[in-house]
Amino acid sequence: MSENQTIHEFDLNIIYDYFGNTQRQGPGSPEITLKALSFIGGLTAESKIADIGCGTGGQTMVLAQNTASEIIGVDLFPEFIQQFNQNIQNQNLMGRVQGVTGDMKDLPFTEGELDLIWSEGAIYNIGFERGLSEWRKFLKTGGYIAVTENTWFTQERPVEIEDFWQEAYPEIDTISHKVAQMEKAGYLPIATFVVPEDCWTYYYEVQHPQMQESLLEKYKGNKSAEEFIAYQRYEAELYRKYKEYYGYVFYIGKRIK
């Protein structure tokens, strides 16, 4: 799902029909989730992790299989959480992992409750700076945050892609600016790395033409569905054309006081 698609109730069924059966709803992969997790120390069976904007939980399952900690997935979209909890059941992870419907702008945690905040492809919904700053209080001192964020790879870009992202997500910026924002929000930057291109190509390939056509067929004459598919196609086309200029970057930080 994209940065400039605000979620209107009207669109929810369309979005669920489109993304509900995909393992991930944004660019990412199990290898990249594991790589990010490798920078985080000290997780035990007593630790508590929140995966914010978890979708149906593709990355949450990787966290669950590679830690012994309790994990709470939070997503605004009840249908994603329903699917998330079904996946948990299928993997026999009930009791330790749980999905709850909730808003990242009003999270159901208490101060200092969490050891790790995870958020892949979702912090843009609150904004990188606001998310980092508002979520920090939920972390224990020494706790970690790991998020992916759309980022410019170069100082200058062709006007077509510059204009597209300035309109879709004005907070897009370079790695050095994002790291400075992380420091300003009260974290020690631990690691940053670029999410590789194949995570994006996989994300766009999953949305194959057949899946798009069958959604258009199901919602024949529905303007929202047509606009949604047109947008998905345009975004994928821009990525193919301008991928050397931008992409997701993993930012991992630690709350040190």
Considering the rule CB under 6 A, would residue 70 count as an interface residue with ligand SAM?
Answer: no
Question: Of 100 and 179, which has the nearer Cβ to ligand SAM?
Answer: 100
Classify residue 40 by its DSSP letter.
Answer: -
Site for ligand SAM in 12-51 (CB under 6 A): 24-26, 28
Considering the rule CB under 6 A, would residue 55 count as an interface residue with ligand SAM?
Answer: yes
> Rounded CA gap, 183 and 188, in Å?
6
Considering the rule CB under 6 A, would residue 247 count as an interface residue with ligand SAM?
Answer: no
Smallest gap, in angstroms, from Cβ of residue 240 to ligand SAM? 19
Q: Are 150 and 246 in contact (CB under 8 A)?
A: yes
CA atoms within a 13 Å half-sphere pointing along the CA-CB vector of 194: 16
Smallest gap, in angstroms, from Cβ of residue 22 to ligand SAM? 8
Smallest gap, in angstroms, from Cβ of residue 153 to ligand SAM? 20
Question: Of 80 and 242, which has the nearer Cβ to ligand SAM?
Answer: 80
Report the candidate in 225, 127, 219 with the shortest Cα–Cα distance to residue 181: 127
Considering the rule CB under 6 A, would residue 242 count as an interface residue with ligand SAM?
Answer: no
Q: Write the binding mask 86 to 125 for ligand SAM: x where contact by CB under 6 A, - elsewhere.
A: -----------------xxx--------------xxx--x
The CA-based angle 112-3-75, given to 5 degrees, is: 40
Q: Are 163 and 150 in contact (CB under 8 A)?
A: no
How many residues bind ligand SAM, per CB under 6 A?
23
Smallest gap, in angstroms, from Cβ of residue 250 to ligand SAM? 12
CA atoms within a 13 Å half-sphere pointing along the CA-CB vector of 204: 15
Q: What is the secondary structure of 116-166 as a DSSP string?
A: EEEESS-GGGT-HHHHHHHHGGGEEEEEEEEEEEEEESSS---HHHHHHHH
Among 18, 80, 242, 250, binds ligand SAM (CB under 6 A): 80
Judged by the rule CB under 6 A, the positions of this chain that interact with ligand SAM are 1, 7, 24-26, 28, 53-55, 58-59, 74-77, 80, 103-105, 120-122, 125
